[in-house]
């Protein structure tokens, strides 16, 4: 089983080739390719490599599929004994990415 742990858009993701993931919005066109350099850990056929903090020789090649909106997030604020309440919500912008391959130089 080949997989890698990468750092992208402020989070860490366990990625595998052939699967898609939702990242925070990336300002790139759908269909374009992207390479992730911040690989923290990689497993190639049972051989585990751990970076300190990153592996320079491992890169992740991915393709941007589309941009979408995430699930609605509700922010509710209440001040006790003041009868002051506010309820707001937003939908985060996301980018869906397909992982093509894990390249080990």
| Residue scoring higher pLDDT (80 or 9) | 80
CA angle 50, 60, 63 (to 5 degrees): 155
State how far the Cα of 83 lies from the Cα of 105, in Å rounded to an integer: 62
Number of domains in the chain: 1
pLDDT, residue 1, reads 78
Summarised one tens digit per residue, pLDDT across range 21-80 is 999 999 999 999 999 999 999 999 999 999 999 999 999 999 999 999 999 999 999 999
| Residue scoring higher pLDDT (62 or 9) | 62
Six-digit token pair at 19? 């699967």
pLDDT of 84 strictly over 90: yes
- Its domain, for residue 50, covers 3-104
Nearest to 26 by CA among 58, 57, 63, 56: 63
Which pTM was predicted?
Answer: 0.83
pLDDT, residue 105, reads 79
pLDDT, residue 32, reads 97
State how far the Cα of 40 lies from the Cα of 97, in Å rounded to an integer: 19
């Amino acid at each position: 089983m080949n997989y890698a742990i990468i750092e992208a858009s402020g989070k860490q993701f366990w990625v595998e080739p052939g699967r898609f993931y939702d990242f925070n919005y990336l300002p790139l066109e759908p269909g374009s390719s992207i390479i992730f350099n911040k690989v923290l850990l990689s497993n190639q056929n049972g051989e585990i490599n751990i970076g300190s903090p990153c592996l320079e020789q491992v890169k992740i090649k991915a393709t941007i599929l589309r941009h979408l909106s995430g699930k609605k997030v509700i922010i509710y604020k209440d001040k006790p004994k003041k009868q002051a309440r506010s309820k707001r919500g937003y939908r985060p912008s996301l980018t869906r990415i397909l992982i093509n391959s894990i390249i080990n130089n």
